[in-house]
């Protein structure tokens, strides 16, 4: 992972690389950020930079011997720790991150911005609660107390220390009395769940969320998604790059078109047309149906915010604003709020095996009744 692959994080990258260049790397740090903000990716780029023997332009070179290893996440002196579950026939108490390294590297290769749920879905066949256990902590102590294999430095990257629970106490000595050239990077989404004793001994590095502009650029460069579409996704994702990637993978469908046709068939109140529209929704898979409803909720809440505050500072694309302007002729804030609540109910129920066809039909009639002029 290079810093240059993490769009929009130039300031934080500069801060971190400057520290390394001046020989001032804090012994223990917590990278704190909400999900999808790129904290893990930043730690990976940082570890590669620390280990690189030929640092250039504020990034690791990618070609020196350490880089060949760090960029594949196989450097023997860069250790990983993360929440895991029971695997195969092995007892949970003897299972550690090392048992999952192959999967871990494959997941990082696929998406270094992955969320904890992506990770848990990938490893959790038994549906048990993931955590970082006592054996893992003991192994970490052992690894970091050994002599480094290839480098003169050792790094531990621990993703989600909030899953340590009280086992975190086992690491206190390590964090308190560092061995030479050993650097610990904890990556957390929730500092309230980390033991205070650990928190107080680590330097806090806050990783800011991605801006909509960063996400648009990422989607454009990585997936060649056009700017209007990319902005629509970025607005929905609200700073979470992982969510933006997930939406872009799901969104072959133009949801704004489906919203407009929904209102049209609801307004016209023709059962044949309503059923045609429902068939279109039924042809989407479950994730797409959810994305469609989430999009609807986003659109109408922005529509309302705009109408109430008379501001143009909304998370809508130019195309959506045009739709909103046309819609404002028939739909006021009150009607839009009714639609929001209908969509909200649908979203809550869609995971509970409701009969979608019946629910959509009833909801479409209800929306029609709400938006047609009262006789």
What residues make contact with Zn ion under the rule CB under 5 A?
Answer: 52, 54, 60-61, 64, 67
> How far is residue 83 CA from its own chain's centroid?
17
Closer CB to Zn ion, residue 17 or residue 60? 60
Q: How far is the CB of 246 from Zn ion (least distance, A)?
A: 32
Q: How far is the CB of 21 from Zn ion (least distance, A)?
A: 14
CB 301, CB 340: distance < 8 Å: yes
Q: How far is the CB of 74 from Zn ion (least distance, A)?
A: 14
Closer CB to Zn ion, residue 154 or residue 229? 154
**Helices and strands, number each (H, E), in the chain:** 17, 5
Closer CB to Zn ion, residue 49 or residue 295? 49
Closer CB to Zn ion, residue 64 or residue 193? 64
Closer CB to Zn ion, residue 56 or residue 309? 56
Give the integer Cα–Cα distance in Å for 218 and 201.
35
CB 302, CB 259: distance < 8 Å: no
Closer CB to Zn ion, residue 56 or residue 128? 56
Token pair recorded at residue 306:
């705009």
Q: How far is the CB of 148 from Zn ion (least distance, A)?
A: 17
Give the integer Cα–Cα distance in Å for 372 and 71.
59
Helix (H, G, I), strand (E, B) or coil at 204: strand
Q: How far is the CB of 152 from Zn ion (least distance, A)?
A: 15
List, edge to edge, every strand of the sheet that includes 182-188. 78-81, 154-159, 182-188, 28-32, 203-206
Give the integer Cα–Cα distance in Å for 263 and 253.
17
The DSSP annotation for 320-335 comes to HHHHHHHHTTT--HHH
Closest CA to 86 of 116, 126, 136: 126
Closer CB to Zn ion, residue 64 or residue 199? 64
Q: How far is the CB of 59 from Zn ion (least distance, A)?
A: 9
Residue 317 has φ and ψ, to the nearest 5°, of -80, 170
Q: How far is the CB of 48 from Zn ion (least distance, A)?
A: 7
């Amino acid at each position: 992972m290079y810093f240059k692959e993490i769009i929009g994080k130039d300031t934080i990258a500069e801060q971190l690389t400057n520290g390394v260049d001046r020989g001032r790397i804090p012994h223990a740090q917590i990278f704190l950020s909400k999900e999808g903000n790129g904290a893990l990716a930043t730690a990976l780029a940082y570890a590669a930079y620390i280990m690189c023997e030929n640092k250039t332009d504020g990034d690791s070179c990618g070609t020196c011997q350490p880089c060949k290893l760090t960029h594949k996440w196989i450097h023997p002196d860069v250790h990983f720790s993360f929440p895991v579950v029971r695997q195969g026939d092995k007892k949970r108490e003897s299972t550690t991150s090392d048992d999952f390294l192959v999967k871990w590297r494959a997941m990082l290769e696929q998406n270094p911005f992955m969320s904890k749920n992506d990770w848990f879905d990938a490893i959790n066949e038994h549906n048990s609660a993931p955590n970082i256990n006592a054996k893992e902590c003991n192994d970490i102590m052992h690894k970091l107390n050994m002599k480094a294999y290839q480098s003169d430095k050792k790094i531990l990257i621990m993703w989600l220390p909030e899953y340590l629970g009280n086992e975190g106490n086992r690491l206190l000595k390590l964090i308190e009395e560092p061995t030479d050239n050993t650097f610990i990077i904890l990556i957390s989404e929730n500092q309230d769940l980390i033991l205070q004793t650990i928190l107080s001994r680590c330097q806090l590095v806050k990783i800011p969320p991605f801006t909509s502009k960063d996400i648009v650029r990422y989607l454009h460069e990585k997936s060649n998604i056009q700017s209007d579409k990319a902005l629509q996704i970025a607005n929905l994702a609200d700073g979470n790059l992982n969510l933006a990637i997930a939406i872009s993978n799901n969104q072959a469908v133009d949801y704004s078109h489906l919203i407009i046709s929904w209102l049209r068939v609801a307004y016209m109140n023709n059962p044949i047309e309503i059923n045609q529209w429902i068939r279109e929704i039924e042809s989407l898979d479950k994730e797409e149906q959810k994305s469609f409803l989430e999009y609807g909720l986003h659109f109408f809440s922005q529509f309302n915010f705009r109408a109430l505050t008379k501001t143009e500072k909304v998370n809508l694309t130019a195309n959506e604003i045009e739709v909103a302007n046309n819609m404002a002729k028939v739909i006021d804030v009150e009607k839009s709020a009714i639609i929001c609540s209908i969509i909200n109910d649908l979203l809550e129920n869609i995971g509970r095996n409701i009969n979608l066809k019946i629910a959509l039909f009833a909801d479409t009639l209800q929306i029609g009744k709400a938006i047609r002029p009262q006789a």
